């Protein structure tokens, strides 16, 4: 897995320099993002399927898909250049457990996808994200949102939503504030 993570970092630096895919501009920045993506495996329950909303340059979905090869990952990203990068990574790393769709969550049909885990990193506030994505989460599923400086405000907003949907939300706030 280490070799594939290194290749992912190399590809992101290469493509990111040309296409501005991420705020991570150095190998160390990317290593930090990889570590943040994977550290949640210490506390999150095992899962068989994951919907990553606003996948961007692949955090957290690419590192998680490498660490959890038996889980199915669906990556949603509306930006064409980021989708092209994600497809390139999928092929280069032989990630057969990835499905990449160029679309926003609002365009996804609730009848088409049902997953154990929904992830997102710095996309929108938690309350809106929960409202938009809840129809895609299995009954015993979990949300995992990687959040930065607005965490306390979003937790206050999300608590009522968690109760309404009966789902568990994990907020991971150790991540760095890169785009």
- Give the SS3 label for residue 104: coil
- Transcribe 45-91 into DSSP letters: PP-SEEEEES-TTTTTHHHHHHH-TTSEEEEE---HHHHHHHHHHHH
What contacts 95, CB < 8 A, 6 or more positions away? 62, 65, 66, 89
In this structure, are residues 129 and 123 in contact, taking their beta carbons and an 8 Å threshold? Answer: yes
Sign of CA dihedral 93, 96, 102, 108: negative
Is 106 annotated among the ligand-binding residues?
yes
Beta bridge partners of 107: none
Is 121 annotated among the ligand-binding residues?
yes
Is 59 annotated among the ligand-binding residues?
yes
What contacts 81, CB < 8 A, 6 or more positions away? 19, 21
Is 30 annotated among the ligand-binding residues?
no
Q: Which residues are annotated as a binding site?
A: 54, 59, 105-106, 121
Binding-site annotation, residues for S-adenosyl-L-methionine: 54, 59, 105-106, 121
């Amino acid at each position: 897995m280490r070799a594939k993570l290194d290749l992912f970092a190399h590809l992101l630096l290469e493509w990111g320099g040309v296409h501005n895919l991420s705020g991570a501009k150095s190998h160390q920045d990317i290593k930090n993002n990889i570590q943040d993506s994977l550290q949640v495996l210490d506390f999150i329950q095992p899962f068989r399927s994951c919907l990553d909303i606003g996948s961007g340059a692949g955090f957290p979905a690419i590192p998680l898909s490498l660490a959890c090869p038996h889980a199915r990952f669906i990556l949603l990203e509306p930006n064409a250049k980021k989708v092209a990068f994600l497809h390139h990574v999928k092929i280069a790393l032989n990630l057969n457990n990835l499905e990449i769709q160029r679309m926003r969550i609002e365009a996804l049909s609730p009848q088409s996808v049902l997953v154990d885990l929904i992830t997102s990193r710095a996309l929108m506030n938690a309350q809106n994200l929960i409202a938009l994505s809840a129809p895609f989460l299995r009954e015993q599923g979990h949300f995992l949102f990687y959040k930065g400086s607005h965490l306390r405000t979003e937790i206050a907003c999300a608590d009522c939503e968690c109760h309404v949907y009966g789902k568990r939300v994990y907020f991971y706030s150790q991540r760095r504030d890169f785009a």
